[in-house]
Structure 1
Amino acid sequence: MSEKAVLVVLVCILAVLVSVLVGAGAGYLSRRSGATYPAAALQAGAAFAATLGVVAAVTAALTAVAVLLH
């Protein structure tokens, strides 16, 4: 496996890990504020999806910039 492929895999793992942590935090805070378990789970899922989308967009933008500068 090349170094570039390993880097791509590690970045993907990091993106998913950050999204999971944000989702868990959002679910916890939602539940602490008095939301029901289903509502907190929906909040956590929405935060996970939004964070994963933002991280993917930022990663794509940084990759494009890196390719242009190389």
Structure 2
Amino acid sequence: MTVAVVLLAVAVVIVVALMAAAGAATLARLEGSTWPSALTRAALTFTTVITLAAAVTAALTPLLP
């Protein structure tokens, strides 16, 4: 059961990171930036969301039984 919950949580985090990256790329393109610049912003946003999820997980781990 625990493995299923962990896999589901990882899947949700990845989906949220992809959605945030797509939003960042769309906003960058609407501002008039080039495709490489928009993809760079998307990649940066994706890695930031993944890093934030890892930091929150590390912070909450001691609270779990």
Specify if TM > 0.5: yes
8 Å CA contact 1:30, 1:40 repeated in 2:
yes
2:35 pairs with 1:37: yes
Greater Rg, structure 1 or structure 2? 1
Q: Cα RMSD between the aligned structures?
A: 1.0
Amino acid at match of 2:16: V
5 Å-filtered alignment, 1:18-57, equals: 18-57=16-55
Report runs of 4+ in structure 1 exceeding 4 Å deviation: none
8 Å CA contact 1:15, 1:56 repeated in 2:
no
2:61 pairs with 1:58: no
User: Structure 1: where are the runs of 5+ without partners?
Assistant: none
CA distance in 1 between counterparts of 2:61 and 2:40 reads 31
CA distance in 1 between counterparts of 2:30 and 2:54 reads 29
8 Å CA contact 1:26, 1:44 repeated in 2:
yes
The equivalent of 2:9 in structure 1 is: 11
User: Structure 2: where are the runs of 5+ without partners?
Assistant: none
8 Å CA contact 1:23, 1:47 repeated in 2:
yes
How many equivalent pairs are there? 65
Amino acid at match of 1:25: G
Kindly, what percent of the aligned residue pairs are identical?
Answer: 34
8 Å CA contact 1:28, 1:40 repeated in 2:
yes
> TM-score, normalised on structure 1?
0.85
